[in-house]
Structure 1
Amino acid sequence: MKAIYINPFLKAASHVFEQFQLPCKVGSPSLKSSPFSGLEVLTIVGITGDIRGQMYFGGSMPSILEVVSTMMGGVPVEALGSLEQSAFSELANMICGNAMSYFSQDGITLDITPPTLIMGKQIEVSAVKMSVLSIPIILNMNNQLEMNIVFEV
């Protein structure tokens, strides 16, 4: 997968996490085979325009709860109710929206769909005829998120 497709997502993720003052490290991207695991909570944002694909953004329940708590000003979050689900979906939306702005600076016109949130154990995603690029977002020693970028080949 070309760097021009990866870098906007890397920059966007770093920028959005900085806005929430959530220290994290964006790890090294790697290619994944399909199907891949979506962990326990998964937000899907569709990408349309000059390039078609999706962003799958998710993690384990403890990781998601930590992020949502930080987004809500440090209020303890013990469950993923509708407000918390909305917050995590908005995080994925913000990352994807920022990435689209970076793409536009390179002359690539893209749009995104509203996010869809899926929860469950052992979620498996099959991206037929698409390349899957996985980017870990490390929050601390115990928690990390995973951003999977999938583009039509």
Structure 2
Amino acid sequence: MKSAYTLEILINSTLESIKHIIPYSFSAKPLLSSPSLIAQQVHIDILGDFKGTLIINENGEVFSKLGESMFGMLLEGEMLQSFMGEFGNMVAGQLATIVSQKGLNMDITPPLVAQMDGYPNKTHYCTVPVELENGGELHFSFFLNELAEAN
């Protein structure tokens, strides 16, 4: 059963997680509509009280710019792919910690960075577009099998 409170926890915890990872300001407004299909994506499976997939994608060269601002060097090729996976792992790991502190059990799998031509066969619950201070936008989309009831 879909729990609005649990969805609120998931969205707010995602934003809190991003604040810990991204070194500059951003703005966000959660959407319930489906995200646009973008080929380069980071997929992280979610396990625990709710099961599904977190997909992080971008609209341009956002990961490259973000990597450059965090590490002071331009990331390309395999280094960029590695950064994308590690960024996803940092955000999702922090998200799992925050969600657990709010009374829900959540674990994650290692990230998969790949060219994708579709989304998982799960229900799309929300997308959190995050507009970064230095330009560009990251989308954090949750596709879940079910949404747990919060305690």
**What TM-score, normalized to structure 2?**
0.82
Q: What are the equivalent positions in structure 2 for 1:1-153 lying under 5 Å apart?
A: 1=4, 2-17=7-22, 21=23, 23-33=24-34, 36-72=35-71, 74-77=72-75, 79=76, 81-119=77-115, 123-140=116-133, 142-153=135-146
**Structure 1 residues 134 and 90 mapped into 2: Cα distance closer, same or farther (>3 Å)?**
same
**Secondary structure at the residue paired with 1:91?**
helix
Structure 1 residue 124: Cα displacement: 4.0
Distance 1:31 1:108, change over 3 A: same
Moved over 6 A (4+): none
Residue ranges of structure 2 left out of the alignment (5+ in a row): 147-151
Structure number with higher strand proportion: 1
Aligned Cα RMSD in Å?
2.0
1:112 and 1:12 map into 2 onto residues whose CA distance is: 14
Deviation of residue 38 (structure 1)? Answer: 3.8
User: What CA distance in whole angstroms lies between the structure 2 residues aligned with 1:90 and 1:102?
Assistant: 18
After superposition, the C-alpha distances for 1:40-68 in whole angstroms (9 at most, x for unaligned) are 42100000011101110111342121012
Q: Given residue 28 of structure 1, which amino acid in structure 2 is its aligned partner?
A: K
Q: Report the 3-state secondary structure (helix = DSSP H, G, I; strand = E; otherwise coil) of the residue aligned with 2:79.
A: helix
Identity of aligned residues (%): 24
